Amino acid sequence: MSAPIQRCKLCQTRSKSLLFSQLRYCNKSFSSSCKLNSATKHNQVEAWQPVIGLEIHAQIKANSKLFSRANTIFGGPTNSQVAFLDAALPGTLPVLNRRCVEAGVITALALGCQINKVSRFDRKHYFYADLPAGYQITQQNNAIANNGRFHYVQYGNKESDIREKAVTILQLQLEQDSGKSLHDDLDKQSLIDLNRAGCGLMEIVTAPEFHSGDEARSFVRDLRQLLVTLGTCDGKMSEGSLRVDANISVHKPGQPLGERAEVKNLNSLSSLKKTIEFEIKRQIAVIESGGRVINETRSFDLDTGETLPMRDKEVQLDYRFMPEPNLPPLRLYHRSDLKGAMHGDKVFIDDLEKNMPVLPQERRGNLMQNYGISMYKAAFIVTENLQDIYEELVSTRNVEAFTNFFINTVAARLLANELTLDQCPIPGKHIGYIYDQYKEENINLTVAEKLIDTLLADSSVDPKEHIRLENLWQINDVAQLTELCKTIIAENPKAVSKLKRGKDRAMNTLMASARKATGDRGNTRIINRIFKELIAQSEGRD
Amino acid sequence: MAHYACMFVIRSNQICSRLLNRQLFQCREKFKLPDKPEWIEIDPKALPPETVLDDSTIQLIERLSLVDFNNKEGVERLKSAIKYADQLCVVNTEGLEPMYSVQEHEELFLDEDVVREGNCKQEILRNAVKVEEDYFVTPPGNIPLKQKKLFDKEGS
């Protein structure tokens, strides 16, 4: 007996991509291309407003852990980076890491937060094998910073669709990481590695102000870039340095917020977007079929982005927060609070503020203001960390032409070769030289691209020498090109007759032959013109 | 003569004790302890209603704290402990900042970010019941506790 036909509940399409097979909605139902498209049903689906808040756990880039001096390197030998405190052996006490405090303050300043000059640590109790002490030291009630605002950029389909958006940062707190557990389902056991237990984390909590998976992803992408720029986190999501928990609910505008579900430990940008979109649709489907969304923690499938209820959902969690009795309050100071220079052991907010690097958002704004380029182009240059070399070169050149060349040729070759400028530093003057030669039509675009590839492979190459050695100068001599074109026209009567009949695509055949004949060095603009002239001339004669 | 000696001893004792008393009296002004017990009877009506502990609450507490109440006597002990703590509700704390620690004004020491610990795998794993390839071996995930209803049993 064959399987029953699966049809979308809303528009009855038999869809191969019935991703949510339990719920039977096709992807199309939620877009304007839905076959049904009737005002009532379609509006019902579109009227839902998703509400998303994020909790980001960023591992602090420090040599040692938050409360112990064990090493923090990723991938170290199992259980070899564990101090007695991390294993919760009795007789140990937490000793706070100064660098972690500074990292927290720097990040909070960059996020525009209010720094709390007095903050406290709390214990959050729950039992799990990767938490040896049975509690995690965190800052639930009196965190190091609150009430910030972060501006991020969301791209659209077209360059001009780019938008700058902002989100409120509710809290930034310092906390301990737990160990890592590997689940061996076959032998019904878990294997615990405590190397990560006790590492410092910054938990950044946003207000529930996102309304789509794409907004959330854009935010995390820009936040990650900020943290890497500040040097407070290495941003390697694949190594678990940046983990995101999403709280998702849906409601109709004007009505109270819906029940939220939580999805934990999203560790890649793409799965973040996919999973949030799935969860939104799942919740809508549950509510529309008369059910209720349960406040629970869900896990997710890496490939499809489907969310699943967790196995141990019977466990009701009450963390029994209590103040950490072994740690007095953490105090931060401004220089003006204390007189005299004899306070080297304290953390001064002003000192950290003074030494902050220029933030990506500011760099973006500077580029836009100083050179008048679009937000899209400025964002692109800053994201790829190319702003220094760009500013060095663009100041003496035509902004629009150079910017286009820089993005479409230089940056494009970098991305195509999967390299960054840090990895292969090409001297700015070489890039400038290549651009200038291209602008003066001494080399053509293909040669320019090839030159950049050559320089990426070996940055010591001198482009001028290389052009001379490989004979890459563009052929601009009209007489020479005309002879060549005449030959090609003679060799390709079919293409020529097609062109005469108005099939413009036949020009491609002629151009390809010309490219081959000139070794890709011919001035394509001139060649194209010559071909057209010659054909027009011959037409006149015929 | 012996009489005078006695009188002298008694008198000097009296003077000494009065001196001591004065010192003690001055010291006592700095003590918060009263001289005589000052017992305040708490009006039972001022206390919040007695907490009801049904089976599901007991099970929840056992799950959260991993403390086994075992039998009816254990639950009774818990109830009386809660009732005893309820007396705190009578204390007026209006306008007072909560005190979290007597170390409130101590300086929290900030250590330099230098690796000085760890690299002691053998010692860390020494007390583990089961080890596999340098990992601690534990039962899988969170196992729900067996829900037993022994609270009605007397004795242990």
3-state secondary structure string, A429-454?
Answer: HHHHHHHHHHHCCCCCHHHHHHHHHH
> How close A311 comes to chain B (CA, Å)?
9
- A82 contacts on B by Cβ (under 8 Å): 118, 120-121, 124
Chain B neighbours among A 160-199 (CB < 8 Å)? Answer: 181-185, 188-194
Half-sphere exposure (Cβ direction) of A418: Cα atoms closer than 13 Å:
0
Task: Read off the pLDDT of residues A343-373 as tens digits, 9 standing for 90 and up.
Answer: 778 889 999 999 999 999 999 999 999 988 8
Rounded to whole angstroms, what are the CA distances from A400 to A10, A371, A372, A394, A410?
49, 9, 9, 9, 15
pLDDT of A417: 81
**pLDDT exceeds 60 at position A31:** no
Task: Read off the pLDDT of residues A225-280 as tens digits, 9 standing for 90 and up.
Answer: 999 999 999 999 989 999 999 999 999 988 899 898 999 888 889 889 999 999 99
Question: B9 vs A265, which has greater pLDDT?
Answer: A265
Alpha-carbon distance B66 to A127, whole Å? 9
Question: A317 vs B71, which has greater pLDDT?
Answer: B71
Task: Read off the pLDDT of residues B37-86 as tens digits, 9 standing for 90 and up.
Answer: 888 888 888 888 888 888 888 888 888 888 888 788 988 999 999 999 99
With CB atoms and an 8 Å threshold, state whether A328 touches B108. yes
Task: Indicate the residue type of B70.
Answer: N
- Residue of chain B nearest A193, judged by CA positions: B135
> How close B138 comes to chain A (CA, Å)?
5
Q: Considering CB atoms only, which of B100, B114, B141 is closest to A63?
A: B114
pLDDT of A39: 39
With CB atoms and an 8 Å threshold, state whether A190 touches B141. yes
Q: A478-541 in CATH: which number?
A: 1.10.10.410
The stretches of A289-373 forming alpha helices (DSSP H) are 349-354, 360-371
- Residue of chain A nearest B66, judged by CA positions: A127
With CB atoms and an 8 Å threshold, state whether B125 touches A79. yes
ipTM of the complex in this document = 0.75
pLDDT of A342: 67
Task: Read off the pLDDT of residues A43-54 as tens digits, 9 standing for 90 and up.
Answer: 444 588 999 999
With CB atoms and an 8 Å threshold, state whether B101 touches A328. yes
pLDDT of A316: 60
pLDDT of A38: 43
Alpha-carbon distance A51 to A338, whole Å? 45
Q: Report if pTM > 0.90.
A: no
pLDDT of B21: 67
Quickly state the pLDDT bin for A75 (edges 50, 70, 90): very high
With CB atoms and an 8 Å threshold, state whether A64 touches B100. no
Residues with Cβ within 8 Å of residue A68, at least 6 apart in sequence: A83, A84, A85, A86, A92, A94, A95, A198, B117, B118
Average pLDDT over residues B120-149: 81
pLDDT of A225: 93
Quickly state the pLDDT bin for A34 (edges 50, 70, 90): very low
**Domain spans of chain A, in order of start:** 8-322, 360-469, 478-541
pLDDT of A473: 80
Average pLDDT over residues B138-144: 70
